[in-house]
Amino acid sequence: MPEILDGLKIRDQILSELKPRVAQLIEKGRAPGLAVVLVGSDPASEIYVRNKVKACEALGIYSEKITPPASITTEELLAIIDRLNHDPKIDGILVQMPLPDQIDDQAVLHAIHPDKDADGFHPMNVGKLVENAPAARSCTPAGVMEILKRSGIEVAGKKAVVIGRSDIVGKPMALMLLHANATVTICHSKTANLAEECSRADILVAAIGRAELIREEHIKPGAVVIDVGMNRVNGKLFGDVQRAAAEAKSSAFTPVPGGVGPLTIAMLMSNTVQLAERHMSVKA
């Protein structure tokens, strides 16, 4: 039987390691601060934000939830971002996606000061990821790297295939694996012979957002399979990988739910603490 990579256990490890760092910052002068901006009332986004605020409370991180109406203009939202950029209590800013259609997403993400970018999405921080310089990293792929590291899975020298090329997961995932000395291939919706490309992978990361797209023919025997997918079908949650296929072919895999998902908020907390440590040391 393959090893099931338990994201809940790894999340708890990371959060327990953050607690003394938060306590040190409080002793030094103040708690780390995270502002979450939730525009409108999308039910899924409300759940995500509630979980983020709850994680802050458990760690002793100051959180500020801003909930402008769905009718807000880009200019009004930029004014909120500008206020948060200048608020000394706030170390990290997160704007929950998706935003209403009238909002210029790029303008909003670019307006967040790079040194308060808790999600690692600002172009300057993406550039720092490219050159492997210190900066906040995109939370989900950073969580995948923690799963691999804490599960004792060797990355250097391995063939890694990432399915998906999104700015949030696919592209940063490929760069993080590359910096860990894997040989990386990126596949996507236009890739020819997807199963053939995937079946070469020692580490297969599925992040394409299609329920159970990845089956036995995509998985090399003994591969490590990381399933980033979160797809709701008739009210039930499915990953991008057919679980039976992962169980039949892999040496280790992340389940859905309980695999990569819990790490996303843990890495957001980690980014916020790192930003606070940087801000407090600069002021010291």
| Catalytic (active-site) positions | 52, 96, 119
CB contact at 8 A, 176 and 142: yes
Q: Cα 270 to the chain's mean position, in Å?
A: 11
**C-alpha to C-alpha distances, 97 to 41, 52, 100, 101, 138, nearest whole angstrom:** 12, 14, 9, 11, 14
Distance, CA of 105 to CA of 73 (rounded, Å)? 11
Please give the full DSSP string across 58-74, using - where no structure is assigned: HHT-EEEEE---TT--H
Q: Which residues contact 97 (CB under 8 A, 6 or more apart)?
A: 45, 105
The three-class DSSP label of residue 139 is helix
Tokens at residue 219, please? 């998985």
Distance, CA of 242 to CA of 218 (rounded, Å)? 10
* Amino acid residing at 139: C
Please give the full DSSP string across 3-49, using - where no structure is assigned: EE--HHHHHHHHHHHHHHHHHHHHHHT---EEEEE--S--HHHHHHH
Distance, CA of 136 to CA of 66 (rounded, Å)? 22
